[in-house]
Structure 1
């Protein structure tokens, strides 16, 4: 009997991994991710027990159960050594720049319930070994560069409730079993739906269209139960098709002069003093730009992290602090590779500030029109990437966030460029933030003249279609390098608006005259024509006629533009004929009036 107990005890002990082996595996992960010297500084290779390390949670037996490292700016690869963490239930590495393949060894993490690798640069195939993760509930691999087919082994994951594989390079058939998962998203791939309808091939909830949030709610409940069992407190905010399992930060303010609090999650609440020091007391020499929402300052935090601090205007009354925080928290969960990530915020009785990562290549507008000597011109392939990346970011705001987010000021100045010159849409949601204390009776029109849709100007009511209009004008900026309004054109023509100027050149078949001369003819005229066509479809006067951003993305990817453009040309020809008919009637009527006046004058004499 004693021997049996001893064997059972030995088996129990060997079912777990020793702390030193766990620490070695996690330190190998830190190394492979290329963590900087000021990141994960308490991950000490000589400290055998990793349960005291930041971003790590353990159970009562010192087994690592959670590794949460979202939005850390990593650029390395995934270490296969963490496959030894048999008791790991949560692995979240979304929003980084991780490259390379997903190791087959991830299939050894048999306790895993949440795997989130969204919004990285992962490539290669999805490992078939993930089919071994029988407890997996959330599998989020969207917004990467994954290729190949979806492994049939994923069909065996009976506990899987949320599968997000959108915005990759996947191809082949989708296993039928995956269409019965509560929530799924396969958009932005080259997948074959098989016998399933095109409606269900993109996104869905196992056909329960009358209760679209059932699977999401069930997934949240299960995730919360798992986390509560681990002794953590977590609030989940979900953007559909986006950052699943993201932790909302909860602040517990402590009385005292110093702004102390308990923090959960990655969104940070900065003190006013921190941002004063970071920006050299908001020195004018640190101003990066100024717009309708306030000034943006370059700053450097105490850990040498470069940031951009937006100091908002229009806070004329007290009492908006809690409403502002709610809106900030909602915007902070809109995470996409083409959206500017919010680091944190600061509120005082008289100030509202937002803190973002610093974009070293500034904005598209500055790269088009404010080049310093020696700086390279945005080449044509980069401009095409910017067009598609911006469209994908807006599509995410409009169609994958609940509630949807409307930008209301889409323009080249609000599209930033990261170190790889990828498009990063900034300032989204700010129009709502600065209006949080205003009534719903009227809406202040926010935006930039030349970019604002006509219906927004006339009614003050915005929708996602006002963003589509602004996006169309931004495309024209990309192609021409010009501003949306340019009064210098009055010297040669009447078209002050860039849209009217391009329409005229397009009708006259003068596409070469449209293109930015800084490109020095280094462009593809067929691609220019495609972007112009998309831009004109987006800037139609009636919002109902404009395409949705998801359709814009498809057209830029080569699907459906020819048909839509043919329809537009037919409508445009009809409109021009009607305009000319009315113009002839007006001219005839004017001549008659003039003749009548002449007759009366001569008759009186």
Structure 2
């Protein structure tokens, strides 16, 4: 029988057999971290500097050789900074400090953690630049630094991390160019920064930030729980609020979004201003009808002028209490939080009271494409052809960003000329995300209540209720036809001419008859390039094919508008379309037997297959 004394002696002997430098340096590094993070007297009690083997400590995992391989200190309310001594833990594979209030820089010494595969510092208050030394972490797979106050550029060294599969840098204060190699990663999120995503000025992935508030302003956020489609309402001071102010300056609360009815995803609001109701009431002259810019499914949009003379557009959800109204408000804020791009409408702020929901956007000086095409007042200039090309390309780039660079991707579901706004330079800005839908990347389509505008809705969406990126492509194709013709998607006045009511059918007919001049908006006074017109019509018809699988992706549309790949795709489409047309005409001839025989059902049945 072995005595307790002998067991104790054996255990002490085992500790002595450990390499002293291994036990000492690991224990010292972790204890230094505990001190630098200002752990309270009740936290990490077993992290004892006199017991240098850290493998027995809480929140620490070791391998069979007593090497520290995992350290997880998530959501413990820790503050302070990250000790540089953590960089000595070269066997560490996981370092997770998310959900605390850690300040200061990310230590350069973290670049020494050569075994690290997962680094998560999300939802802290880290500042300064992302250290370039993180590019030394060749085994790194997951890097999560979102929801901090990091600034500067994204280090080019991160592009050399060949094993990186998930990069989350959203909701910081990063600027400059995103290294193009990072877009090859399986999952990434750069939203909520001031970054440029492309090789030229046409591919930014964040707004320029000039109107979003400076770093010394109070950051506003909310917490909304979406469970089973119901929005949890927070109680504050006896009043029910949909949103509430942060208790601590600089701490961002979040919106919890139910994506495709499966898993909750967290989306940060970023820097949004919370307006008082009185402030917006004064700005819009008490929501005077003279200031109405437009009206949508959930309320009106008013022109307003803030106290600092900033012009804004205020969307007032007058029926938010009706089914879908409050959800529309939440959807609008969610969308704009995720999608930030020069061709997408930027949200400035919001206002909530027990009886009001309002969203505040920059005022678009040139209003909408629909207005510029069909609602001009006497003396206002017609949108010239070069600008129409610019609008087509800008809109395509905005939709491409929603579909292919947002995670989760976003389907707009109501793409039309009225929802494409124009800034002072006539740059296209896609707006009205009230009908938009976050889409889980694992799903190819989402079944929903059919929403949108007749004439712009894809046929498969009408028949099945299933929307996908290709439903947006269809709507975009109709918008291109609006740009070319200046006409509405549905026009009943054409019935008087025994013509097609649908703009798409009308254009197809004129295109087959090679009457392109009859297609183009007469307000252009024949000042346009007929080859460019033909190209835009071809892109539009490719986008509006009846089968969603045959429609191009928006990235392909961008390339075709830039002159790449259209000819081959158009030739392929024409061959298919000719075959379809011949089959249709054959069926028409089969049943076109005159007024008497058309009612002879027996004859029709006998003519079928036997």
TM superposition score normalised by structure 1: 0.58
Contact 2:366 2:426 survives alignment (8 Å) = yes
Contact 1:239 1:400 survives alignment (8 Å) = no
Query: Is residue 213 of structure 2 the alignment partner of residue 250 of structure 1?
Result: no
Equivalents in 1 of 2:499, 2:195: separation in Å?
49
Match of 1:388 among 384, 390, 393: 393
Q: Where do residues 166-565 of structure 1 align in structure 2 (5 Å cutoff)? A: 177=160, 203-205=183-185, 212=187, 242-243=205-206, 249-251=220-222, 255=237, 261-262=245-246, 264=250, 265-312=270-317, 314-316=319-321, 324-325=329-330, 328-432=333-437, 443-565=448-570
Change (3 A) 1:429 1:317: closer
Query: Is residue 577 of structure 2 the alignment partner of residue 572 of structure 1?
Result: yes
Change (3 A) 1:587 1:323: closer
Task: Output one character per residue of 1:39-81: Cα deviation in whole Å (capped at 9) or x when no partner.
Answer: xxxxxxxxxxxxxxxxxxxx99xxxxxxxxxxxxxxxxxxxxx
Equivalents in 2 of 1:276, 1:448: separation in Å?
30
Contact 1:112 1:136 survives alignment (8 Å) = no
CA RMSD of aligned residues (A): 4.6
How far 1:321 sits from its partner (Å)?
Answer: 6.4
Q: Give the secondary structure class of the aligned counterpart of 1:290.
A: strand
> Matched residue pairs, number?
407
Equivalents in 1 of 2:378, 2:319: separation in Å?
37
Equivalents in 2 of 1:505, 1:330: separation in Å?
38
How far 1:312 sits from its partner (Å)?
Answer: 2.5
Contact 1:377 1:518 survives alignment (8 Å) = yes
Task: Output one character per residue of 1:286-337: Cα deviation in whole Å (capped at 9) or x when no partner.
Answer: 1001122321111112222111011235533699969954761453231100
Contact 1:414 1:427 survives alignment (8 Å) = yes
Q: Which has the larger radius of gyration?
A: 2
Equivalents in 1 of 2:305, 2:475: separation in Å?
32
Change (3 A) 1:238 1:576: same
How far 1:257 sits from its partner (Å)?
Answer: 9.2
Equivalents in 1 of 2:365, 2:221: separation in Å?
31
How far 1:250 sits from its partner (Å)?
Answer: 2.8
Equivalents in 1 of 2:589, 2:325: separation in Å?
56
Contact 1:343 1:355 survives alignment (8 Å) = yes
How far 1:517 sits from its partner (Å)?
Answer: 1.2
Contact 1:267 1:332 survives alignment (8 Å) = no
How far 1:271 sits from its partner (Å)?
Answer: 2.7
Q: Give the secondary structure class of the aligned counterpart of 2:378.
A: coil
Q: Give the secondary structure class of the aligned counterpart of 2:411.
A: coil
Q: Give the secondary structure class of the aligned counterpart of 2:433.
A: coil
Query: Is residue 129 of structure 2 the alignment partner of residue 113 of structure 1?
Result: yes
Contact 2:435 2:452 survives alignment (8 Å) = no
Equivalents in 1 of 2:163, 2:319: separation in Å?
48
Gaps spanning 5+ residues in structure 1: where? 1-58, 61-87, 91-110, 115-132, 138-153, 163-173, 186-192, 194-199, 221-234, 434-439, 599-605
Q: Give the secondary structure class of the aligned counterpart of 1:203.
A: helix
How far 1:512 sits from its partner (Å)?
Answer: 1.0
Change (3 A) 1:314 1:571: farther
Change (3 A) 1:428 1:494: same
Gaps spanning 5+ residues in structure 2: where? 1-79, 82-103, 107-126, 145-156, 169-178, 198-203, 224-234, 251-269, 439-444, 604-610
Change (3 A) 1:306 1:258: farther
Change (3 A) 1:176 1:423: closer
Q: Give the secondary structure class of the aligned counterpart of 1:446.
A: coil
Q: Give the secondary structure class of the aligned counterpart of 2:456.
A: coil
